[in-house]
Amino acid sequence: MNRNIVPPARVLVTGGAGYLGCVLVPKLLDLGYAVDVLDPLWFGREPLAGFINHERFTLHEGDIRDQDAVNALLASTRPDAVIHLAAISNDPSSEIDHDLTRSVNRVAMEQVMRAAKAHGVARFLYASSASVYGIKQTEDVTEDLSLEPITLYARFKAEGEEVLNSLIDDSFCGVSVRAATVCGVSPRLRLDLTINILTEHAVRRGEIRVFGGAQMRPNIHIEDLTDLYCQLLTAPAETINGEAFNVSNRNASVGALAEMIRGVIDPSVNIRVVPTDDLRSYHLSAEKLTRELGFRPTRPLEQAVRELKAALDDDRFGDISRSVFRNVVHMNAHPEMWRKDQADKA
């Protein structure tokens, strides 16, 4: 029978050294879970400093494309739940090398799901994305609408939901988290996400460049999204099994976000509009999450902007022009990190 995953259960977080993982893992540890992270550390080891020595934490430096390693890890740690975050994690970086994207976001993703089930994992939380809907004119995009992904990244995210739903049963509970674009500070900072980019521009350059501006882009504070992942471990299986949930705070056009950020940072910040052919636009309804799980985001987007400004002002991250803060730049700068022999094993 499906069961809730309560502490001191063991949770494997793939890609747990990333932007979301470095906020999520300490929360899981604080709640009393034992946590394993499988990650090749593409964005470094330093972001794990706050929890790497925790007695219930274990880092497994490795790649989900290495199927033998995944099976050996599942066999030796026997996790109760898997939170699958590992991915080439946005549209532009998924375009760098389609074979790589397929091997990680499609082939290995499916292998991880199947291996988890085969090893008796009771619950699988899958990091899908709001981008699975494609461009919709509908006022509120709800979970029952068709998935019409327009990028390779979004297509594989959608296919992952299909794979997961084909595997669920009474002993394997799977849920897909269709998150809006995330914002805010993480020990592993990303400055390639809408609000984070615009805030960095406002703080460092005194100017926000807005590409287009009319596109609707839903956003969610990183603390809210990671709270949701924690809640999904204990949510009733009958409510979540086989379900997808949109997660979003406010829907706003990119232009309106720029205005909001200027309001928080400094009214003298200049907003410059640049034409774009990036038409991705979606207006997300997160009503189902509130209705069925009572979950409501509690952090306003302004809070993320204030926290980012504080982090940039106190120089916590050192030289923020370094590639590590922008996935596509970092992956282009360091092809050796992802063209490792693991890729051949997929």
Ligand X SMILES: NC(=O)c1ccc[n+]([C@@H]2O[C@H](COP(=O)([O-])OP(=O)(O)OC[C@H]3O[C@@H](n4cnc5c(N)ncnc54)[C@H](O)[C@@H]3O)[C@@H](O)[C@H]2O)c1
CB-based closest residue to ligand X: 18
CA–CA distance, 289 with 99 (Å, rounded to integer): 35
Provide the minimum distance between the beta carbon of 230 and ligand X in the complex, in angstroms, as a whole number.
Answer: 15
Which range in 27-35, 84-92, 113-121, 163-171 contacts ligand X by CB under 6 A?
Answer: 84-92
Instruction: State how far the alpha carbon of 97 is from the alpha carbons of 177, 278, 335, in Å.
Output: 25, 20, 10
Q: Which of residues 32-51 bind ligand X (CB under 6 A)?
A: 38-43
CB-CB contact of 79 with 121 (8 Å): yes
Residue 326 is encoded by which pair of tokens? 């922008």
For 84, list phi and psi in degrees, rounded to 5: -95, 95
For residue 90, the minimal CB distance to ligand X (Å) is: 7
| Nearer to ligand X (CB atom), residue 89 or residue 215 | 89
- Candidates 64, 228, 235, 252; binder of ligand X (CB under 6 A) is 64
User: Count of alpha carbons within 13 Å of 28, Cβ hemisphere only?
Assistant: 36
Q: Is 124 within 8 Å of 173 (Cβ atoms)?
A: yes
**Smallest distance, ligand X to C-beta of residue 32, A:** 23
Residues 6+ apart with CB under 8 A from 7: 31, 32, 33
* Residue 14 interacting with ligand X (CB under 6 A): yes
CA diameter of the chain: 59
- Cβ atoms of residues 251 and 284 within 8 Å: yes
Where does this chain touch ligand X (CB under 6 A) — which range of 50-58, 114-122, 179-187, 204-212?
A: 179-187
Place of tokens 């993703």: 109
Indicate whether 176 belongs to the interface with ligand X (CB under 6 A). Answer: no
Q: Does 18 bind ligand X (CB under 6 A)?
A: yes
CB of 332 to ligand X, least distance (A): 14
First to last CA, the chain: 32
Rule CB under 6 A: say whether 129 interacts with ligand X.
Answer: yes
Strands 251-253 and 216-221 turn out to be antiparallel
With residue 333 as reference, give the H or E element that holds it: helix 327-333
Out of 182, 195, 240, 331, which residue is the one contacting ligand X (CB under 6 A)? 182
Which stretch, 52-60, 79-87, 233-241, 268-276, contacts ligand X (CB under 6 A)? 79-87
Of 13, 34, 74, 89, the residue at the interface with ligand X (CB under 6 A) is: 89
Which residues within the stretch 196-225 sit at the binding site for ligand X (CB under 6 A)? Answer: none
Identify which of residues 63 and 161 has a Cβ nearer to ligand X in the complex.
Answer: 63
How near is the Cβ of 225 to ligand X at its closest, in Å?
8
Distance CA 165, CA 259 (A): 40
- Give the binding site for ligand X (CB under 6 A): 14-15, 17-21, 38-43, 63-65, 85-87, 89, 104, 108, 127, 129, 179, 181-182, 188, 190, 193, 327
